[in-house]
Structure formats: C-alpha cells, structure tokens
Structure 1
Amino acid sequence: MVISSSTSSISKPKTALIIIILIIISTATTSFADNTAITTTCTSIHQQNSSISTCNYVKSTTGCNPKGYINYLQLYYCNFSSFPQLGFVLLLIWLVILFYILSNTASEYFCPAVEHLSNSLNLSPAIAGTTLLPLGNGSTDVFSSIIAFTSSADGGDIGLNSVLGGSIFVSTVVVGVLSLLITYRRKIVVIDKPNFIRDVVFLLVTLTNLLVIIIIGEISLCASVLFISTYIIYIFLVCYMHFISKKKHNSIHDSVIEDEDDYAVRIPLLRSIDDEEKVVHSAEKVVHYEEEDVQYNKKRGKMKFVCYVMKLPVYLPRRLTIPVITKERWSKGFLVISVVLAPIMVAVIWNTKEGNLGLKASLVTYFVVASIGVALGTCTYAFTSSTIPPQKWLVFWYASGFLMSVTWTYVTCNELVSLLESLGNIIGMNPSIIGLTILAWGNSIGDLAANMALAMYGGPDGTQIAMSGCYAGPLFNVLFGLGFSLVFVSWSKYPATYVIPEDPNLCETIGFLMAGLLWALVILTKREMRLDHTLGGGLLAIYFCFLFIKLSRAIGLLG
C-alpha cells in the first residue's frame, strides 16, 4: 500500500482557525498531569511500623496525593490494609481496564474523528498529521510546560526535561513500534518523502537552536520570539507544499479519468457477460456462507451478551459524552444526550482539578454550562432526523467528537499515570526511576495509542497521518510549549535575560533525540521510505541505550 499525502485543498480557513482555537481551549480544561520528575515523594511509606501509621502517613503527606481522581495509596494502605494481596490484584485489574479504555477510545472515537474532521476541512494526511494530531496529543504537554516554567524556581529545568523526554519517546519508541507492527503484519507502507524530510529537518534545526540556548545559558525576549517564530515558518512551508502537491494530484487525476473513459469504450461485450456470470456464482456462495454464519452466531449469542454487559460500564459513559454522527453508529438519542452532557463533563473536570473556584463560583459555572448543554441538546433534538445523521454543520459535529475524545484520552492518561505512580510506590521503586520509566511511559501512552490506532484503523492515509504526528507532535511541543514558556519568563525578566537552569543531562537528552532523528532520516531514505524492522529496531535500540544511561545514573552506577 502506497501512501500519498495530498488529496485536496484546504477550504474554510476561518473554520479551521476556529477549530484550532476550540481544541486548545478544550484541552486546557482537561487535567494538567505533571509530566515531570517527582518533586515531593512518598519515600518513607515503607518505613512505617504498622498499617495504621502507614495509613496516617499516606493521608497526611502531600507527596502521596494522587495526580488523578482516585487515591490509590489510600485505598491500598487504608481500605485494604487487612487484605493487601486483594487490593493489589484489584489495582492490577483496574490498570488493565484503563489501558483498554485508552486504546479503545483512540480506535473507536479519536481516529474516526480525526479522519472525518480532516475530510470535512479538506485537509490532506500531511496537513492533518501536522495540525490536528499534534494539537490533540500535545496540547496538555504545552500547558504543563508553561505552568512548570512559571510556577516555581526550578520549573525551567522541569519543563525542559518533560518536553524533551516526551519527544524522544514519541520519535523513537512510537515510530519504532509502528514500524515493527507494520512489518509483522506484512504490510508495505511507503511514507511521503518530502513531508518526512521537512518534519525531521525542522525538528533537527529546532533542537540545534535549543542546544545553543542551553549552552549559552540565557535567553532574551527577542531571542525567545525568534525561537517560536520557527513554527510559523514551518506551517507556511507545510501549506505551500500541500498546494504544490495538490496541483500535481489534480493534473494526474484528470489524465487518469481520460484514460478510464477510453478504456470503457474498448471493453468487449462478452467480457461483461462473463463478469455477470461470476457475480451470480459469487452470490450463491455468499448465500451459503450467510446460512452458516446464522448458525454460528446463534451459538455465540450468549457469549456476546455477557461481553456486552461487562463492557457496558466502560462503554456507556463515553457514548453518552462523545458526539458520534457516523452512519454505522447513528443514534439521535445518544447524540442529544452527549451534546447535553459534554459541556458538563468538561466543567466537572476543570472544577475538580482546579478546585479553587469556591462554592458560589462553582454553582454559577455549573448552571451556565448546564444551560448551554440543554440549549444545544434542544436544538439537536429539533433539527436532526431519527433515521439519518446530520448533513449540515459537519465540521461542528466532528470537531465536538474530536474534542471530547481528546478529553477522554487525557483523563484516562492522567488516571493511568496516577495508578502507575502508586503501584511504583507500593512496590518500593526509587522515585527517580519512577519518573524516568513509569511516569515517562504513562505520559506518552496517549500518543502511542492514538498513533497506533490511526496506523492500523485510520484507513489508507492513517499511517501517513500517524507518522507525520510522530514528528510534528514533538516539534509542536518544543516550539509551542518551550517557545511560549521562554517568551513568558523572558517577558517577566525584561529588559534582563532569563537564565536557563543548569542541567548537563539536557544536552545528553537532545543528543539522543537527534540521533534517533538522523537514524530515521538515513534508513528511510535508503530504503525508499518503506517502514521496516531495521528502522524500528534501531530506534528502539537508541531509546534503550538512553534509558540504560539514565537508570544507571539514577541508581549510582554512573557519575
């Protein structure tokens, strides 16, 4: 299967701009998980003498507070103190459920939303991979980086490490796993060469600029503005390449249509008769197979019902809050309810995570949001059909589904990270190792699940979108996340310069990240842009070398 990038032109630029703004606003209301090393820990949790003292320690220590919505340490050490084995097993079961919710949300909601939204906006796979996917996967990282830079004295070091750590995971592990998975499925996927080289070169240039800033040790307001302006140049280049490739595509398409017309005239009559006989024969086989399928489905009926009941608690909350207007899953009732509940869910998430609005402000917020939801639900009920999905305002519906699937993805990711951190504390892992492994992996699970689902289930252009997102996402995080953070902190120091926190490991992280990019650039260009095991294996080897050095330094094997 050969993936080509450009399909059609970008229309409705104002609508696209509105969608981008809505994406940023929506993802800002999701939970801002701290994608960084642990600043306050539960290191003394295993030094308590009794189960009662351990429970009191968990309740009173700030470092034991959950990053998500459930206090897993309190459940384990207080509620299941008499049955710790049972508590640990239940946490593992919940871990599996969270992984399922994450992967299923990506495949069933996020991927179709990206595909339909990009089609409605007439975005090519390359444009969708460099806009929608980075915004969906990376917006929370951007906000986390800005908050880290502006909230504490050592926030600059935390923000730099969080963005760079996530970037190296996405550009090595995610791309490596995608390549190995495609090779295992014996698929031949060819990535668009100009778009790939553009993304990798821009990311290399950006990392080089960042490396220079770190070596200098300070940055001014003017330099920070120049740093972030690189992303504007990148977007202009993406649009220019899209229009050029679209023009070539249209000329090729016109010539193909002329050839097809000539060929249709030359088709002999006898061939069409033979084709009809083959169709009749195939129809007889289909009827025979359908009779066998009916008998087989009867035997599986009970098993399907049991699976449906088990999945209902996981399926129903997402179905009631994520608008879906595809023909295969169309339901007017679900759409009306989801339009009503979606704004309320976002408000609950925001108020729960922030928690400082006060009772009156919270009530006013809920009343306003609920009123908006009811008004939208009323309009949806009045102007939609019970038999067919909406045919107008498709961008609004697809954007709503995209935003809510992003919200669910990151809510699940935050809860997953919180659970993984709690399991690490229960096992007794070193906090620095938890930050390097469990938290780093947990914070990037959303990117891995979304990109893998797009590559496997996103249609013929899914792999191109996923691969573009694997490089456009880190570029978005570095230029937007670090860029805006540097602008904010340098603005606050103006006319003085902002001093970059000293961390010799930052240069090491950037070096490994650039090594992964160069490996992908060399291997793909030599192998005619085909994803294979050489690319995937090399990228995973680079990441494991990086991880080995980090872990060795954390446990004292390296200085």
Structure 2
Amino acid sequence: MASSLSHKYYILLNLCFLFGLCFIFKTHHLITPNLPTLSSPSITDGCEALDRFKDPETKCWYIKHNNPCVNQGYINYLHLFYCVCGGSPLLGYALLVSWLLVLFYLLGNTASEYFCSSLESLSRLLHLSPSLAGVTLLSLGNGAPDVFASIVSFTGAGGSANVGLGSVLGGALFVSTVVVGVISLYVGERRVPIDRSSFFRDACFLVAAASLLLVVFVVGRINVFGAIAFVALYVVYVVVVSTTHLCNGSEKQSNSNSNPSPPECDELGAPLLGFVDEEKPKPKPTLIENDDPQIEKSELYDRLRQLVWVLGLPLYLPRRLTIPDASEENWSKPYAVASATFSPILLAFIWNSQIGESKKLAIYVCSALLGATLGSLALVTTERENPPRKCSLPWVAGGFMMSVTWAYITAKELVGLLVSLARVLGIPSSVLALTVLAWGNSIGDLMTNVAMAVNGGPEGVQVAISGCYAGPVFNVLVGLGVSMMFAAGSARPGPYLVKGDSSLYETVAFLVGGVLWVGVMLPRRGMRPDRVVGGGLLALYLCFLCTRLAQTLGLVK
C-alpha cells in the first residue's frame, strides 16, 4: 500500500507520527505524576487505602499525593480514570477497554508477524528437525503472549504475580476445554480417530505440569532450583516427543505438524480487530453491484486499503522502524537501515526507565552512536532488492531480540492495565487474568486450531488436538518456570513467596478435570472426538465461569 503513495507524502506521514510519538514521551510525566507523599496518620500506603474513598475527586487527590500503586506499564491508568475522566466514568471505561483491545492486538500481531518470522528463520539456520522445531520454537511462537505476560507480572513490582499465574492457567483451561470442545463438535460427524499414544503422552505431561504447580501453591514458596525443575520437565517432554518420532519413523507426520505453523503463529492477528496488512493479498469486496462492478469494486477496495493503512500506521510504523526483518517477502532496505539505527535507541529508552537520572544522558548518547554506526553498516552492506544471504544471522538475531522487546513492552502495559482495571472494578486482578487476559491470548488458538481441524482432514484433526495440549504444557512449564526463575533469583537468598488464591486452586482442579474427562471418554468413543466429548468440555468450562461469577458477585464465598 505504501508504494501507491508518493514518496514525499509517505515521508511526511512518518515524520508527523514520529513527532507525535516524541510529544507523547515528552508529556509522559504529565500522565504519570511523581509528587511527594503526604504524611497522614489516617491514610496508609498501598492500593487498599484507595477503597476508603467513594467519589472520584478524593480518589484523584489521593492518587496525586500518595502514588499508591506501582504501575507495571508506562501510563498511570488510575490517574487517567479518576482524574482525567473522573466526571465521566463511561468515558473512562470506554478508553480503558479500547486500549485493552489495542494492546491485545499489538501483543498477538507482534508475535505472529515478527516473532514467529524470526523463529522460523532461526529454525532454518539451526537446521532443526520438524518435530524438534514443533515442540520448541513453534510452541514458543504460539505461547509468546502468555509467556511475556507471565514474565512481566512476576518481575514487576506491585505484587501482580497472580496475573501471570491466572493468565497461563486460564489460557490452559480455555484451550483444553473450549477449543477441544469446539473441535469435537465440528468433527464429531466425521468420526476421525486420533492417535492414542500421542494424546495420552501430551495429556499426562499437562496433568504433571498442573500437579507440579499445585505443589508450589500448597508450599507457598519456590526457589531457583524449584523453578528450574519446571523447565527441566519440559526438556524431558521434548526428548520424549523427539524419541517417539524417531522410534516410529513418523517424519511424514512431523512434516504435517510443521506445515500449518504459519496459521498457528497467527495469534490475535487480523481477525481480532479487523486490521488489514497491506503486504498480504486480500479478497475483493463483493457487496456493491452496478453497471461496471469491476471498476467500482477496485476503487472502493483501494480506498478501503488506504484508510486502513493510515489508521494502522501508528500501530505499524514504530515496530517496522525498530524490528529488523530480513525475510524475502518483507525486505525493504530503507526500513532495514532505519531499524538498525533506531533499535538501540528504543533499548536505551527501556533501560533508562529502570535506572536513576544520573546515567540516562550517557546511555542515550551511546545508543545514538551505536545506532548511527549500525545504520551506516546496513546502508553500505545491503542491497536494495534482496535481503542479506551470507550474513543473515545478525539480522535474524536482531529481529528476534527486538520482537521480544516489543512483546515485553506490550505485555508490561497490558498487565499494568489489567491490574488498574481490577482496582477500578473492585475485584481481584487474578479474576481478570483468568478470564479477559486468558481469552485475549487464546482466541488465536481457537480460530487457527478449529480451522485446521475442519479443513485439514484427519491429519489436521490430529495436529489441532495435539496443539491444544502441547501449547498449555509449554506455557505452564516454560512460561511460569522462567518467570518464577527470575522472581526467585531476585529474591535470593530467601525463596520467592507464591500467594496462590482460591481461584487458582479451582482453575487447576477444572483443568485436571477437563483432561480426565477427555482421557476417560475418548477411549470409550474409539478415540474419536464427538459431541459427547465436546459437550462435556463446554459444560465444564461453563461451570467454571459460573463459579467465578458467583464468587466475584459475593454470592458464594
């Protein structure tokens, strides 16, 4: 789409957006005030004291003068809700929900468009086998939103570790019940059998991961070695999967598992918010009919693409200018030079947000010099038409690192928004993590796995069902394992305290119950998913939602 605009107009749009971005960063302190704390014997520190006030004016005063909650993100959402939108709560809720949808899109689209692309390139450079790549890099690409949200919640201040636990457990429950249930309903009439050994292997590891996490909840603490045990169990899972493929000689089946990787990686992409990527072909609209339909359709289609491209520019341009992309389909030398120049500056901005004021100027100067050097090298050593071929590893590594950086930024903002929204609604943050965050991060699995099962034939059903269990295994063992490893390392020499509430215990129970339901019913149905299996899973998840709703409303303690 950019090629259809004049070069000068495109540069003007970029410069205008960068100017607006600089203005936002400049006025950031106006959004997040850092005022001195007033000493008052009647007011205590922490978000709990905020609940003592009833009207928005006093809550705004308390937030300004006490800064009660440590935000995970870069925006003080409590100040935005009570101070900026204090006179209109509906406007505040509309802004928070709209921004929540945007963050979900950014997190999923970054994972699908940039993170998965770098993982696929990395897999080719490392010459990984399809089966090994499927249970490592592909699982990492599919579970990236949950993993990053979990890491941010454990490593950030403010005691929001339950957000990460709720996100991973809620997503695992959603995928293993709702997604498997919908697949079973769709393919029930086709009577397609699935492999018994593969199912029980994945189901047993999922139950083992949930049981290990339950032990952590009961003990209430974990150290670095306990967190390493989570990752070690996933290494065992990878070895078992690889050994199974080698012993059975099922490399053909492994290839079939790896072929659908692009739709698996497309989590929360275009279908979520209707964002249309200008670089991909799209079907033409067929809603308008007149004397010359082809011309009218083409004109309307071009106008819609222009409108969508302009609206999506604030979400597309910052990532495109800072994430190196050396793939054949997305190669652009101007963008490559820009990403090599601006990526060190973005890293410096994130680094400076974590340290004191004394070293910020030196870090910005060093990052600007490094960016200018890398940009000059990219300008001299790259071609305009073709991406680098001989020295592609630095570009792939840079794309991987910067896509992780953008996913971390988005996940940090998403966790901060959910914690603040839970404070505004007066409910535990783990409840929103178990529902809203889990749904947002798992909607891509629902769309892609169901489409794969419906359109992929018998092998597609096998891959879809396997993905519904292998993905949660990765998220629980690696996502939570790495998160708790970071948290336990920062808490040394003592252990890291894990305060699991009742909702997390219940989620583990529903998760294990769903796996056991399928494990009992599938052999009785000849290992063929049908309406009985799917209906039972959907009913189980509906019971979970009713339980959460009743507890949130105070109907059940």
Q: Confirm or deny a common fold (TM above 0.5).
A: yes
Tell me the residue number matched to 1:204.
207
Greater mean alpha carbon deviation, residues 317-326 or residues 75-84: 75-84
Please list, as runs of the form range in 1=range in 2, the aligned pairs for 1:102-117 lying within 5 A after superposition. 102-117=107-122
Q: How does 1:161-180 map to 2 (within 5 A)?
A: 164-179=165-180
Query: Is 1:41–1:431's contact at 8 Å kept on the other side of the alignment?
Result: no
After superposition, the Cα gap between the structure-2 partners of 1:367 and 1:425, relative to the gap in structure 1 and judged at 3 Å, is: same
Deviations 1:293-313 (A, max 9, x none): 565212433333222222212
Match of 1:56 among 33, 58, 61: 61
Contact kept in structure 1, 2:202 and 2:469, CA below 8 Å: no
Q: Structure 2 CA distance, aligned partners of 1:198 and 1:451?
A: 20
1:473 aligns with one of 445, 454, 475: 475
Please show how residues 354-503 of structure 1 align to structure 2 within 5 Å.
Answer: 354=354, 357-426=355-424, 429-432=425-428, 435-444=429-438, 447-448=441-442, 451=445, 455=449, 463=464, 468-482=470-484, 492=493
2:270 is aligned to: none
Q: CA deviation at 1:362?
A: 2.4
Task: Give the CA deviation at 1:314.
Answer: 1.7
Pick from 503, 510, 513 the counterpart of residue 511 of structure 2.
513
Residues in 1 aligned to 2:518 and 2:480: alpha-carbon distance in whole angstroms:
19
The Cα shift of 1:335 comes to: 1.6
User: Structure 1 residues 52, 338: closer, same or farther in 2, change over 3 A?
Assistant: same
Pick closer, same or farther for the CA change 1:525–1:184 going to 2, 3 Å.
closer
- 1:232-251 superposed matches below 5 A: 232-244=235-247, 249=252
Distance 2:499 2:75 in 1: 34
Could you tell me which of 536, 543, 554 is aligned with 1:545? Answer: 543
Q: CA deviation at 1:94?
A: 3.2
**Per-residue deviation at 1:334?**
0.9
- 2:76 corresponds to which residue? 71
Give the corresponding residue for 2:144.
136
Task: Quote how far apart the aligned CAs of 1:386 are.
Answer: 0.7
Deviation at 1:333, TM superposition (A): 0.8
Q: How many angstroms apart in 2 are the aligned matches of 1:122 and 1:196? A: 27
What per-residue deviation string (whole Å, max 9, x for no partner) do you get for residues 149-169 of structure 1?
xx89xx7xx75x556533431
Bigger relative contact order (CA 8 A; separation at least 6): 1
In structure 2, the residue matched to 1:318 is 319
Distance 1:296 1:486, change over 3 A: closer
Number of residue pairs matched by the alignment: 465
Letter in 2 for 1:471: V
Shift of 1:172: 2.0
Identity %: 34
Instruction: Give 3-state SS (helix, strand or coil) of 1:492's partner.
Output: coil
Q: 1:455 to 1:550 in 2, by over 3 A?
A: closer
Q: Tell me what 2:347 maps to.
A: 346
| Paired letter, 2:357 | L
CA positional deviation for 1:514: 1.6
Do the aligned partners of 2:210 and 2:512 also contact (CA within 8 Å) in 1? yes
Aligned residue for 1:280? Answer: none
Q: Would you say the 8 A contact 1:163–1:477 is kept in 2?
A: no
Higher Rg of the two aligned structures? 1
Counterpart AA for 1:546: F
SS at match of 1:166: helix
Distance 2:77 2:153 in 1: 26
Cα distance, 1:387 vs. partner?
0.8
In 2, are the aligned partners of 1:196 and 1:468 still within 8 Å (CA)? Answer: no
Matches for 1:225-304 after TM superposition, within 5 Å: 229-244=232-247, 249=252, 293=294, 296-304=297-305
Residue 70 (structure 1) shift: 1.7
Q: Could you say if the C-alpha distance between residues 118 and 556 of structure 1 is closer, same or farther in structure 2, counting changes exceeding 3 Å?
A: same
Compared CA separation, residues 390 and 190, structure 1 to 2 (3 A): farther
- Is 372-381 or 220-229 further displaced after alignment? 220-229
CA pair 488-406 structure 1, distance change in 2 beyond 3 A: closer
* 1:205 shift after superposition: 2.6
Describe the superposition over 1:74-109 as per-residue Cα deviations: whole angstroms up to 9, x where unpaired.
233323445555454444443443343344334433
The Cα shift of 1:468 comes to: 2.7
Deviation string 1:218-251 (CA, Å, 9 cap, x unpaired) is 8899877767643443343344335445675499
**Alignment of 1:331 onto 2:357:** no
- Contact 1:42/1:425 (<8 A) preserved: no
Unaligned runs of 5+ in 2: 1-44, 257-291
Measure the CA separation in 2 of the matches of 1:500 and 1:383: 50
Distance, in Å, in 1 between the alignment partners of 2:297 and 2:536 is: 45
